[in-house]
Structure 1
């Protein structure tokens, strides 16, 4: 789970108290002290500006992405930033946006922006989200939540309705470091039934912590087998027990 917020990882800390692990991104070097504070609270955090390079994670890494008052122009640049969020979200994952422009009807005066400007910004975000085949689940108060589809069957059949972007063909969806973002959509693994979850069903937490991920058990990651995963997990358990004894 990833939480992009500039409130000293407050959302990540809230989730951690409920046994949900988040990663918090501070947008620039001036927030380095906030990153340190987040780490001291036990929340993983790093400087992770979203600009022209992919976020440093493979595709389908997170169950949820959250942005709180991060002032990222989500609807601009052909939806490039939301397309990147789509890449790192797992099938059926959630994108949560709080702060501007959500609930602009109530807050527009305090934000020192016009109603027209804020309304247009939210409309553009809604347009991009729909083009990614995301479903808007709810908007309540200052929070809006969208859900990524569990597969792309319905989206492909109705691509003219959704105005779906072209699917990426050239880049490996799991390449992240020093890889430029694109305005094409990362395709989900093919499925035969619209009810299927692309890439396979993940185990529920906390069982997922030690379960073999579907992409490994299916042999889709070159050089990584189920046996290697089990051996690596046992090694980390051994190291963890030694640290606890110390």
Structure 2
């Protein structure tokens, strides 16, 4: 029997929108290199970054019924996150479902399966991160769960968690940690701004990141090429 959970708690919109200012890589690093979905989840578009509260859904292999069920639970500012209960690359989602989500001001879709109508989705400006693109359509008849914790691309996503997605992939910020991760992301970006200025002034990573002691500890030595050739011939 399937379950549809209504009105789960969501992260505060102000926190969600503030996290949208930071890239996936920055947030991933700022929260201790956690929360990054597997690299097989990629965008179908480029140059777009979104953040929103997760509405989660499980779908049966080859059946997209639950996406329609989940849309009813989506609100403005949400991101729909979908995973099949068994691996399936069929095209679960296209321009019609995107039109329905767009009407509800949903910010995007993350799905560990296939999508189709890619040209139409890009023309609409509806962002999608998916496992693949597939024109093969799905059937209807089996209902999964909505707004329950799901495992997707190696990570656990709970309804109301913050999803941030851009050209680098997708990262999950647990709802309860949103404020802490936002502060850490700001601090990291400020640190990187200082590092960027040093790189622009001509310094290199060995000095900006204080890596020379690591080389010394590893026993790394610098040898002139001519001397190295003599050593190889000895």
Q: Which has the larger radius of gyration?
A: 2
Q: TM-score band, normalised by the shorter chain?
A: under 0.3
Which structure's relative contact order is higher, taking Cα pairs within 8 Å and 6+ residues apart? 2
Q: TM-score, normalised by structure 2?
A: 0.23
